[in-house]
Amino acid sequence: MTTLVLASSSKYRQQLLSNIGIQAEISKPDIDETPLPDETPLALCKRLAFEKAKKIAQQQPGRIVIGSDQVASVEGPDGKIILGKPGTVENAVAQLKMCQGKSVYFYTAISLCKAEDDEDLPDILTSNLDTITRAEETCVYFRSHKEAQLRAYVEAEMPLDCAGSFKCEGMGALLFERITSRDPNTLIGLPVMLLHNMLDKHFNIDLLDLATAKA
Tell me which residues are annotated as active site. 69
Please answer whether residues 150 and 156 qualify as being in contact, where contact means their C-beta atoms are separated by less than 8 angstroms: no
Helix 147-157 vs helix 89-99: crossing angle, to nearest 10 = 130
Please answer whether residues 136 and 194 qualify as being in contact, where contact means their C-beta atoms are separated by less than 8 angstroms: yes
3-class SS at 207? helix
What does DSSP say about strands 128-142 and 79-83: parallel, antiparallel, or unpaired?
A: unpaired
* CA atoms of 168 and 5, how far apart (whole Å): 26
Q: What proportions of the chain, in percent to the nearest 5, are helix, strand and coil?
A: 35, 25, 40
* CA atoms of 23 and 102, how far apart (whole Å): 37
**Rounded to 5 degrees, what are φ and ψ at 214?**
-85, 135
Which H helix or E strand runs over 199?
Answer: helix 192-203
